[in-house]
Amino acid sequence: GKGLAVLTSGGDSQGMNAAVRAVVRMGIYLGCKVYFIREGYQGMVDGGDNIQDANWASVSSIIHRGGTVIGSARCADFRKREGRLKAAYNLVNRGITNLVVIGGDGSLTGANLFRLEWSSLLDELAQNGKITPEQKQKYGVLHIAGMVGSIDNDFCGTDMTIGTDSALHRIIEAIDAIVSTAYSHQRTFIMEVMGRHCGYLPVVTGVISEADYVFCPESPPPYDWPEKLCNNYLAVVTALTSEADYVFIPEDPVPNDWQISLCEKLAQERSAGQRLNIIIVAEGAIDRDGKPITAEDVKKVVVEKLQQDTRITVLGHVQRGGNPSAFDRVLGCRMGAEAVLALMEATPDSVPCVVSLDGNQAIRVPLMECVERTKAVAQAMAEKNWELAVKLRGTS
């Protein structure tokens, strides 16, 4: 059977195990010889025990576990040709020419480079007598397929990355817990959620938690955000009940002045009577000059200008931990199976794909096109072109 290996790379996320399990079992079902590569690219470079035979039973009892049971790592060696040469040797030696990479855009960029370099790596190995001419001939093409595991939903080309749904569950559990105490004491809570460069978690959290204000990286607030923020509080009058304040989603970018319209809406809501306020700050929140806005910065403004009783909760790695949601388990299963099918159908000329979710369909999209689009968002943000950043992010 064909040699097939799976690895997880970059930050872990819930649902990666479901994807690993699906790759292993679909591979076995289709007659492949399947391997795990432990500790991401580091395991591929180091070889030895890091590359292990996988069988049907070796992926039993992992689908419900968070993180990745085969380990993940960042690997400096793989960024150098020398490291990739070692990795190629370790794969050829075991007859592996099909590789499933579960990671972020960096990991997929590395996989693509490895694939492009493959034949020259094999040439070098053959010249050095490390592999035979027959091996070089037989294993001459490397096929790769990618899947994105990330709680941030930070990849252009898929509706959801594996792990995002579980992270949102963790976040809303935490906010629900805080809301009752905030309500009792009329407090303001500032919640820092993950999202280094991507506003999906903070924005969706804002929508589903009835938050009052959201700081997200792609769409920084206006320069006068402290005044804008405080005006909302000054508008507080009475206490009645209230419903959601404002809805803005990445797929439907809001106008540039959304902060102002948000504030107007907030003022109405406060006068209709909210006993608590929730402000969501992405860990990567920035102002229009690209300077970080931290939860502490926001607290300082609220406390100094309004003397509000204000607390900060940083959710941190709790968001990345715990069991995967049903959605992420299903997503991992479907994507893993599709990735193996894509590899088995690949020809030497086919463009490598990343398996993604489009509506409710697992589809294959060109890997490097998506990576380029994801990098374009980062570029737009670096150039402070917020409109473009939101637009690129929104059209997955």
Binding residues vs ligand ATP (CB under 6 A): 9-11, 41, 74-75, 78-79, 103-107, 109-110, 113, 150
The HSE-up count of residue 199 (CA atoms within 13 Å, CB side) is: 28
**Which residue among 12, 49, 77, 152 is the active-site one?**
152
- Rounded Cα distance between 363 and 372, Å, is 18
Straight-line distance from the first to the last Cα atom of the chain, in angstroms, rounded to the nearest whole number: 36
Our CA dihedral for 139, 362, 9, 59, rounded to 10 degrees, sits at -80
Look-up of token digits 């490390």:
130
Q: How far is the CB of 299 from ligand ATP (least distance, A)?
A: 28
Within 10 Å of residue 90's Cβ, how many Cβ atoms?
20
Binding residues for ATP: 11, 74-75, 104-107
Q: How far is the CB of 155 from ligand ATP (least distance, A)?
A: 8
Binding residues for substrate: 150-152, 187, 194-196, 283, 311, 317-320
Smaller CB distance to ligand ATP: residue 185 or 196?
196
Smaller CB distance to ligand ATP: residue 297 or 372?
372
Binding residues: 11, 74-75, 104-107, 150-152, 187, 194-196, 283, 311, 317-320
Q: How far is the CB of 104 from ligand ATP (least distance, A)?
A: 2
- Among 351, 357, 350, CA closest to 333: 357
Smaller CB distance to ligand ATP: residue 27 or 149?
149
| The Cα angle at residue 286 between residues 275 and 155, in degrees rounded to 5 | 100
96 to each of 51, 108, 128, how far by Cα in Å? 11, 18, 20
Let me know: does 324 contact 66? Beta carbons within 8 Å.
Answer: yes
- Rounded Cα distance between 29 and 232, Å, is 59
Smaller CB distance to ligand ATP: residue 217 or 221?
217
Establish whether 152 is a catalytic residue.
yes
Q: How far is the CB of 177 from ligand ATP (least distance, A)?
A: 27
Q: How far is the CB of 95 from ligand ATP (least distance, A)?
A: 23
Smaller CB distance to ligand ATP: residue 103 or 206?
103
- Rounded Cα distance between 301 and 303, Å, is 6
Tell me which residues are annotated as active site: 152
